[in-house]
Every structure is written in structure tokens, then in C-alpha cells.
Structure 1
Amino acid sequence: MTRKMPTLTRRAFAGGLAAGLATPALATGEAQIEPDISNTVRRNVSSFRTYDWKPFFSSLDNGAILVDTTSRALHYWSEDESVYKLYPTSVPLSEDLTRLGRTRVVRKVEGPDWRPTPSMKERNPEWPDYVPPGPDNPLGTHALYLSWTYYRIHGTHDTRKIGRKSSNGCIGLYNEHIAQLFSLSTVGTQVLLI
């Protein structure tokens, strides 16, 4: 009776090679060395980079909000430095809708209503002229109005937008996150979009 030799597959070859390469270290009792990552960039569980406020603001008077449009993250520091928050955001769809620079919170509204801007209405004539507070409102449950006309940091009922380029210029957060930020910030909180 003739025995048939098994066929050698790529997977079997790669597995055997990996086992063979690991054998000397195991046989000699050498320990596997873990790399030292203590001096690398700190990141949270969502892989967002945490920042220190000092490179961006001269002080924390009235607290500070930094919006990083590249990483789609919002950072908040309280005036006394006891609170630091980091939230995922939605950002504007395109560069021409994105405004960068310094502004501040000039008004806070719980249960905001919404009217599309003239340029939004021009791009989307089918949109309604007015949406009252509620589940259909694109500003979600809370809104921080900025000193720039038409720009807001607000919630959204459409959670698919968070983490994406999906807004017409505003910065969007999950409703539970904007509620937290709303309670932490004040009229006068400084804001920087980078």
C-alpha cells in the first residue's frame, strides 16, 4: 500500500516557519522584551490624541474649547483645570464650509430651533425654512452659539454624522456629550478651531 504525501500549502509553510523561528527563544528560556511605550503620545480608548491647553490658549479664563477638525475631536478644559473632556465630533463637509480660528461662546440654548442659512437654502431649496425644537431638529438638544454668524457647536439626533465630514459648517456632538459640554461651558468660553 502506497502512502500519499500531504500537499504543502502556503498557510502550513508560514505556520511552520513562524514556529521554527520562535523555537530558539523558547528553548533557551529567553524572555520576550516588550517595547517601552511610556514616552509615546497619550491616547484615549478611542485613539484620539490628548492635548495640553498651553500651546493653544494664553489662559483658561472662562474655560476653553479646542476643536481639531482633522482628528474630528473637541477638547474642553475648565478654568480651574479640574475638568478635561474629549469628545468625538462631526465636522464640515468641505474646506469652503470650514472656518478656523478663534471665537467664543456668545449664547447657550437648550432645545434650540433651527433655520437654514441663506447659502444652505441656496444649495438645498427643498429644506424647510424653520424646524422647531424636537427630534427632527438638526441642532439636537443643546447648542452653543459662537461669535461667528451661523456657526454653532451643537448636538445631533443623527448619530451617524459623528466622526465624519457631514456638517454645513458647524461642529456636531452626540446629544449626551453636548449636554455635558453645555453644563460645563459658559457664555464667554473661548473657542479655537484648528
Structure 2
Amino acid sequence: MTDPKFSRRVFVAAAAATIGTRSVAQTEGSTEIESDISHSVQRNISSFRSLDWRPYFDTLRNGAILVDTQSRALHFWSEDQSVYKLFPTSVPLTADLTRLGKTEIVRRVIGPEWRPTPSMLERNPEWPDYIGPGPDNPLGTHALYLSWQYYRIHGTHDTRKIGRRSSNGCIGLYNEHIAELYGLTKVGTQVLLI
């Protein structure tokens, strides 16, 4: 005998109402301010898969980094092929902020300082001129400077940005991932952004 107060229909209706309420609460009361990063941001994990280095590099001399801006993934291969790493990244917000092609690491810094570029200050005049190393620094804990002026692969303290189009041109990694990549790379490591 079933209790009329707790029928199957009542249970299903209550579950549906609960699920609907939770989804509304997640979007309206979320602590993640996705709209501040971009209005139609999506994380892209569907293309997050391992790759072979050969279609992208002639050699692994000094190691190689491939950044795929479409899948938002960074691939690293060591020179002796004993290490392969795959990390999720943030990528530039728009195509005009994105630089593609071959470059290399020219400088490596633990505890980087940050200064906005002239174009960043033009777009955001309220930004500070300088932020020193620490938790407020947009470059996170480590930075790999590329041969292209103003472009870096760096960490971020704002973990909401990873997996998204959220940067002003750089490639961002979780701080623990950039620390690991920093330890694997050297000045001269080749980099390709596609």
C-alpha cells in the first residue's frame, strides 16, 4: 500500500522542482563571474587529447611546446622524448589579440612583475601601471617570456580563466602547471602557437 502523501508522481514532481531550483541558483547566485570574462564563454575540453610532435616540429632540439588555441591546450615534449605533458590553458579573448606562429622561450622568471602593455592601458585606463610579484599579479608564480614582445606563457591566480578565451594575448596555465613546465623548459625551447 502506498502512502498518498508520498506517491511516485509527487516524488518526480518534487525532484524536477529541486533540480530546476538548483540550476537557477547556480546561474544567478554563482560565485563564478563568467560574464566578467566574456559573455558567451565556454570551456573546451572536447579536443583535449594527446598529440604527436612530428606534424608540428622538425626536431625536438631544446624541447618543444605546442599551444593549440582552438582546443585551449598546451603540449610539451622533452628533447629526448622521455617527457610528454598536456595542460589546459587560457587563450586570448579575440583573434586580434592572438598571435600565431613559431617563437621560442627567451627568458624564464619565477615571481614575475607585471606591467600592462600600451594597448592594454588604452583599453583599460583604470588599470595600474605596475604590479609586483604576489597573489595580485596577473602573471601568477612563473612566466616564460617569448621572443615576441609582450607575449608570455604564464601562471594565473584566477583559475576561472583556464579553459577559456580570457587573456589579452598571453597563454595562461594553473600556477602548479606553469611551475612544472618551468622546470622542464629552458631558454631556447621552441614554441608554436596554432
TM-score range for the pair, normalised by the shorter chain length: 0.7 to 0.9
Q: Which residue of 1 aligns with 2:66?
A: 66
Q: Which residue of 1 aligns with 2:21?
A: none
Shift of residue 90 of structure 1?
A: 0.1
Secondary structure at the aligned position of 2:143 is classed as: strand
Judge conservation of contact 2:153–2:173 (CA < 8 Å) in 1: yes
Shift of residue 50 of structure 1?
A: 1.1
Which digits, 9 at most, give the CA deviation of each residue in 1:49-82, with x for residues without a partner? 2110000000000000000000000000000000
Shift of residue 91 of structure 1?
A: 0.1
Secondary structure at the aligned position of 1:127 is classed as: coil
Q: Are 2:121 and 1:110 aligned? A: no
Q: Which residue of 1 aligns with 2:34?
A: none
Separation in 2, partners of 1:151, 1:47: 24
Judge conservation of contact 2:47–2:71 (CA < 8 Å) in 1: no
Shift of residue 46 of structure 1?
A: 7.6
Q: Are 2:87 and 1:87 aligned? A: yes
Secondary structure at the aligned position of 1:76 is classed as: strand
Q: Which residue of 2 aligns with 1:78?
A: 78
Separation in 2, partners of 1:179, 1:46: 25
With normalisation by structure 2, the TM-score equals 0.76
Secondary structure at the aligned position of 1:115 is classed as: coil
Shift of residue 154 of structure 1?
A: 0.1
Structure 2 letter corresponding to 1:151: Y
1:10-159 correspondence to structure 2 within 5 Å: 48-159=48-159
Structure 2 letter corresponding to 1:100: L
Shift of residue 118 of structure 1?
A: 0.1
Secondary structure at the aligned position of 1:177 is classed as: helix
Bigger drift between 47-56 and 81-90 goes to: 47-56
Q: Which residue of 1 aligns with 2:166?
A: 166
Separation in 2, partners of 1:48, 1:130: 35
Q: Which structure would you say has the larger Rg?
A: 1
Q: Give structure 1 stretches of 5+ with no counterpart.
A: 1-44
More helix by share: 2
Q: Give structure 2 stretches of 5+ with no counterpart.
A: 1-44
Separation in 2, partners of 1:130, 1:188: 28
Secondary structure at the aligned position of 1:120 is classed as: helix
> For residues 169 and 85 of structure 1, do their structure 2 counterparts lie closer, same or farther at Cα, with a shift above 3 Å needed?
same
Q: How many residues of Structure 1 are paired with residues of Structure 2 in the alignment?
A: 150
Q: Are 2:180 and 1:180 aligned? A: yes
With normalisation by structure 1, the TM-score equals 0.76
Which digits, 9 at most, give the CA deviation of each residue in 1:78-130, with x for residues without a partner? 00000000000000000000000000000000000000000000000000000
Shift of residue 171 of structure 1?
A: 0.1
